[in-house]
Chain A
Amino acid sequence: MDYQTLLQLAVGGLLLGAVYALAAAGLNLIFGVMRVVNFAHGDLMILGAYTAFWLYDRGGVNPLLSLTISIPLLFVVGWILQRFLVYRVVGQPPLMSLILLWGVSLVIINAGLFFWTSNVRSVPYFSGGIDLAGIQISRSRGIAFVTALVLSIGVWLFLQRSRWGKAIRATAQSAEMALVCGINVNRVRLLTFGLAAAMAGAAGNLLITILALSPGVGPSFLLKAFAIIVIGGLGSFSGAFIGALVVGLLESFSAFFINAQAADAVIYFALILFLLVRPGGILGQRE
Chain B
Amino acid sequence: MTKIVIWPGLAVVLIILAVLPFFLPNYRTAFLLITFMYVTLASSWNIIAGYTGYVSFGHAAFFGLGAYTAALLITRLGTHWLLASLVGGVVAALVAVPLGYILLRLRGPYFAISMLGLAAAFEVVANSWVSLTRGGAGLNLPPALNLVQVYFAMGIAMVVVIGLSYRIITSRYGLRLFAIRDDEQAAEVLGINTTLHKVSAFTISAFFPGVVGGFYAWNLAYIDPTSVFRPILSIGMVIMTMFGGIGTVAGPVIGGVLLTVVAEGLWARLPEFHRAAYGVLIVIVVLFMPGGIMTLVRTRGWVPRSWRV
A residues lining the B interface (CB < 8 Å): 37, 85, 88-89, 93-96, 98-100, 102-111, 113-114, 219-220, 223, 226, 258-259, 261-262, 264-265, 268-269, 271-272, 275-276
Contacts and interface: CB of A to CB of B under 8 A. Distances in A.
B276 A106 contact: yes
A103 B272 contact: no
Interface of B: 55, 57, 102-103, 105-106, 108-110, 112-114, 116-118, 120-121, 124-125, 127-128, 231, 235, 238-239, 242, 272-273, 275-276, 278-283, 286-287, 290
17 contacts: A89-B286, A95-B55, A103-B239, A104-B279, A105-B279, A107-B280, A109-B275, A109-B279, A114-B272, A114-B276, A219-B231, A223-B113, A226-B113, A262-B124, A268-B118, A268-B120, A271-B114
A259 B113 contact: no
A81 B251 CA distance: 29
A contact face: mostly helix, strand, loop, or mixed = helix
A275 B127 contact: no
Given A107-B280, A275-B114, 15 more contacts: A89-B286, A104-B283, A105-B279, A106-B235, A106-B275, A106-B279, A110-B273, A110-B276, A114-B276, A223-B120, A264-B121, A265-B120, A269-B121, A275-B106, A276-B105
B286 A100 contact: yes
B120 to A, nearest CB: 6
A111 B276 contact: yes
A96 B113 CA distance: 14
A110 B127 CA distance: 25
Given A85-B287, A106-B282, A114-B272, A99 B55 contact: yes
B108 A93 contact: yes
A103 B105 CA distance: 25
A275 B113 CA distance: 11
Contacts of B239: 103
Nearest to A220: B120
Nearest to A216: B231
A110 B282 CA distance: 14
A110 to B, nearest CB: 4
A276 B111 CA distance: 11
Given A37-B109, A95-B55, A96-B290, A223 B116 contact: yes
A259 B127 CA distance: 10
B202 to A, nearest CB: 16
A48 to B, nearest CB: 19
Given A99-B55, A114-B273, A272 B283 contact: no
Contacts of A220: 120
Nearest to B274: A110
Nearest to B278: A106
Contacts of B105: 276
A107 B283 contact: yes
A113 B117 contact: no
A99 B120 contact: no
Nearest to B283: A103
A269 B238 CA distance: 24
Nearest to B130: A259
A108 B279 CA distance: 9
Closest 5 CB pairs of A and B: A103-B282, A106-B279, A110-B276, A107-B279, A268-B117
A272 B286 contact: no
Given A98-B108, A103-B282, A262-B128, A219 B287 contact: no
A272 B103 contact: yes
Q: Which one of B110, B113, B235, B238 has the greatest number of beta carbons of chain A within 10 Å?
A: B113
Contacts of B114: 271-272, 275
Contacts of A103: 239, 278-283, 286
A122 B5 CA distance: 62
A114 B272 CA distance: 6
